[in-house]
Amino acid sequence: MLDTAVLVGAVPERFGWKGGPVDAATYFKMARGEPEAGCDCGQAPAVALEMTKWFDTNYHYLVPELHTGTVFRLASNKPFEEFAEAKALGFVTKPVLIGPVTFLLLSKSHEPGGFDPLSLLDSLVELYLEVLLRLAREGAEWVQIDEPILATDLTFGQRAALAGAYERLAATVPQLKLMVATYFGELRDNLATFADLPVAGLHVDAVRGAAELDRLLATFPTNKALSLAVVDGRNVWRNDFAASRKQIRHALERVGAQRLIVAPSCSLLHVPATLEHETKLDAELKSWLAFADEKLVEIAQLARLDESEFEAANARAQASRRGSARIHDAAVRRRLAAIVPSDHERVTAFPDRKKKKQARLNLPLLPTTTIGSFPQTNEVRVARARFRKGEIDVAAYEAFLESEIRKCVEFQERAGLDMLVHGEFERTDMVEYFGEQLAGFAFTENGWVQSYGSRCVKPPIIYGDVWPPAPMTVRWSSYARSLTTRPMKAMLTGPITILQWSFVRDDQPRSLTARQIALALRDEVLDLEAAGLGAIQIDEPALREGLPLRRSDWREYLEWAVNAFRLCAAGVREDTQIHTHMCYCEFNDIIDSVAALDADVISIEASRSQMELLDAFVHFRYPADIGPGVWDIHSPRVPSAEEMETLLRKALTVLLADQVWVNPDCGLKTRGWTEVAPALENLVTATRRVRATLKAQPLMPA
């Protein structure tokens, strides 16, 4: 999306772009913001574009900003340069572009009074025509245009606009074959529009949209190629050749071999690159998996009309997985069956709980805290690597971690934060760390996938029933608590986030796996409480990400997702404070479900949007406390105390002072201490300034 915004010249004025090709400096400012020095355009330092999740994946995109007067103009040569580079190496590739309708509908505007992004469609199509004509001149034969927006709810007008755009594109560039691709879900009421597009080929997700393949094939045009996605591009399980062969044979009857293309469901950036270098996975488990390289082999094998010895190996792997004793655990199943409704309920309502927590924690008005992690410095990473290589023993490594925790606690006390955290120096990743300590999880050595920019994650693989062999975090949270008299907050990753940010088993409903994770976390929550921790944060940044693309499917998902959170949190005493955290997602339309989590405090991303996410609270009286982030930690900028004070005061126009916490947008592990120290000091300064201007208020205003 950033590449597309740059390609079409959709560069907001604050980045100081003067026209012509967008240079690398402007590109990076759009992605990351810029330092306090600001641009050379006489304006304040430019805040980066907002960042949010790409549909229901853990991949982030930067949100383009548009307005009524946006003028599109070609401002990047990237797609042409990449095509030419491949061609010089002997490969005529298929360039892939984000579709104009998806681009516009996923953009945003700060224009008051509302703005229809499709009002810009005609001018954007003009620019796309320029791009396509140039690709045709340079020798492209096919161009794929991705319109995953077709897997979402569209209005009649939006469908009509999409159809009109492709009529124009196809008619103007007849020498180029256009492939329109949709993925991530079923087409449903968009199917007819999709099938009727006047293009040379259509790509359909037959993994997530398998149930509607018959309906598509029944009316599929005889003059189009069909790219049939039978290999899952979003999960790591080996393809079931028997099932995929049935789909392919069915499509062959309608389309014919000359017009049928076998494909993955979506881009393979959502899975690791290769299994080749995974030396520590046992042979049985490894035989169940396929990463990107292996999926390409599967596609090539499935595209062969004659079955080969590959089929037999695939059948053996499928049988091995279905019959493996390592997948199911009877004790876990018995515990799940014993869950009763009261296991999801806190004993008392929030107002009564808040009084008891305040008596225990003694926090000031506008309490300050962080989201959990502190900088993972090179020293931390080196010590972890030495421990894993056996160069230092457990005692030496734990002594190092205690030293880092001690320094972190001392810094927080000096900075004046009100609720402290231990810093999470023992953790590599907020999901991997927990998965490593839970039964039913497996881990790769090199299974990295891109999350955003240069940031990658290494998702665990959930292959079997989940349960906790031992406490996971009590050791470090208890140690940190012993170092201070201030409240110490323990940190956990929530069940939905662990689910969403893992490669999840596909042999049972995701809701069942979520409940298993929730039960494991419930044990950890109670262990932390027993160890004396008065505040426990259960992060759920992926709750909104897991929302189905179709609104009609939301209720079912939200019911089991909210219940999973409540199952892991509801067993605590009334004076134990439960926090949760969500970042980089638009959750205004599910605010009632967020409230239904029944957490005592929720911290949210709000600074990049200049507190725009708080619009939901204008009409919805949120029943608990809220920490709207006042510092965008995904940018290298150190915001001033004045900037944070402005954001905090803006939040107080929507929220009651008694319910507001002050915190960064997210964890601090990716930032350095040279940024973290002054930024947190500025955060405390800003908070104290605002506190000083507020009159004393009752604990819960009427």
Q: Count CA within 13 A, CB hemisphere, residue 678.
A: 10
Tokens of 284: 């049985």
Q: How far is CA 411 from the centre of its chain?
A: 31
Structure tokens at 647: 């954001």
Burial class (CB in 10 A: 0-12, 13-18, 19+), 215: middle
Quote the tokens at residue 388.
Answer: 């894993």
Q: Is the dihedral of CA 267, 271, 272, 274 positive or negative?
A: negative
Alpha-carbon distances, residue 616 vs 111, 371, 590, 591, 620 (angstroms): 18, 22, 9, 7, 6
Which helix (DSSP H) or strand (DSSP E) does residue 673 occupy? helix 673-693
- Alpha-carbon 180 to chain mean position: 25
| Whether the Cβ atoms of residue 537 and residue 491 lie closer than 8 Å to each other | yes
What is the C-alpha to C-alpha distance for residues 546 and 559, in angstroms, rounded to an integer?
12
Helix (H, G, I), strand (E, B) or coil at 178: strand
| Per-residue tokens: 60 | 């982030």
The C-alpha atoms of residue 701 and residue 354 are separated, in whole angstroms, by 13
Look at the block and give the residue holding tokens 């009524």.
68
Please state, in angstroms and rounded to a whole number, the distance separating the CA atoms of residues 627 and 661: 4
How far apart are alpha carbons 146 and 4 in whole angstroms?
12
Give the SS3 label for residue 663: strand
Q: How many CA atoms lie within 13 A of 553 on its CB side?
A: 11
39 Rama sector, left if φ>0, alpha if ψ -120 to 50, beta otherwise: beta
Question: Of these residues, 60, 579, 581, 634, which one is catalytic?
Answer: 634
Q: What residue has token string 């409704």?
A: 341
What CA–CA distance (Å, rounded) separates 334 from 330?
A: 6
Output the CA–CA distances (angstroms, integers) from residue 682 to 632, 635, 689, in the order listed. 13, 16, 11
DSSP-derived secondary structure letter, 629: B
Q: What helix, strand, coil percent values describe the chain, rounded to 5?
A: 45, 15, 40
Spatial distance between the Cα atoms of 34 and 636, rounded to a whole number of angstroms: 7
Helix (H) or strand (E) holding 335: helix 330-337
b vs e for 584-616, b when ≥16 Cβ sit within 10 Å of the residue's Cβ?
bbbbbebbebbbbbbbbbbbbbbbbbebebbeb
Residue 634 bears catalytic tag: yes
> Dihedrals φ, ψ of 628, to 5°?
-75, 125
**Residues annotated catalytic, as ranges:** 634
